[in-house]
Amino acid sequence: MIRAVLLDMDGVLVDSEPFIMKAAMMMFEELGHAVRASDFVPFVGAGENRYIGGVAEQHGIKIDIDEVKSRTYDIYDEIIVGNLRPLPGVEKFLDRCQDRSLLTAVATSADERKLVANLAAIGLSMGRFDIYVNGLDVTHRKPHPEIYLSAAGRLGVEPVECLVVEDAVNGVEAAHRAGCRCVALTTSFPADRLTIADWVVDSLATVPDEALEW
């Protein structure tokens, strides 16, 4: 029986992908390197260490990940002001979870700094969710299942009692490996890349009732 809903952040609650990509590209440009938007695609949903570090590896760029990530976040914080919006159906979906007395968690591979900035930018209170797990809370990033196993444990429920809401291939695989059911949103990848999810929908606004009532 479903007891909890574990939501990824980027591509689920907010579409911050264009902004973090732009910030990372600007950071690399400051270092004197030109990278392409397509370079980041394989690392979507894997957290900023891998998102930035993977592109650096592709281009043979030696970096101090903590330094370049901090600079990327500095740029990101500037460019999201007044530009970030919640994705369709966020508030209504959270209300649907609350109406069913379901526990909720944000489980994101992003660092806490980005988590806090994103929620503030789209007007979601930190009190809207029961717990938060970010990329700095885990050793292994998606597609490893650790983040969802950790979220379930902190909520006091079993993974098989959890519904994960994801948008990325890495995240859907993490949910599957954790033993959770999964709704995949097609905000970042086409439906044919998300077929191991239990449900594939366009947005939180179109999640079927059956995904919240099993």
Let me know: does 37 contact 25? Beta carbons within 8 Å.
Answer: yes
Q: What is the C-alpha separation between 133 and 198, in angstroms, rounded? A: 23
The pLDDT of residue 17:
85
The pLDDT of residue 109:
87
pLDDT at 102 over 80: yes
Quick check: is 202 catalytic? no
Please give the model's pTM, rounded to 2 decimal places.
0.86
Quick one: average pLDDT of 155-174? Answer: 96
Q: What is the C-alpha separation between 108 and 45, in angstroms, rounded? A: 8
Q: Which of 10, 39, 130, 209 is catalytic?
A: 10
Percent of the chain with pLDDT over 70: 100
pLDDT at 45 over 90: no
Mean pLDDT of the chain: 95
Q: What is the C-alpha separation between 7 and 160, in angstroms, rounded? A: 15
Quick one: average pLDDT of 164-185? Answer: 96
Q: Which of 8, 77, 137, 167 is catalytic?
A: 8
**Residue 46: pLDDT band with limits 50, 70, 90:** confident
pLDDT at 36 over 80: yes
Which residues does 194 contact at the CB level (< 8 Å), separation at least 6? 169, 172, 184, 186, 200
What per-residue string of b and e applies to 147-183 under the rule 16 or more CB within 10 Å gives b? bbbbbbebbebebebbbbbbbbbbbbbbbbbbebbbb
Quick check: is 8 catalytic? yes
Assigned token pair, 185: 């949103």
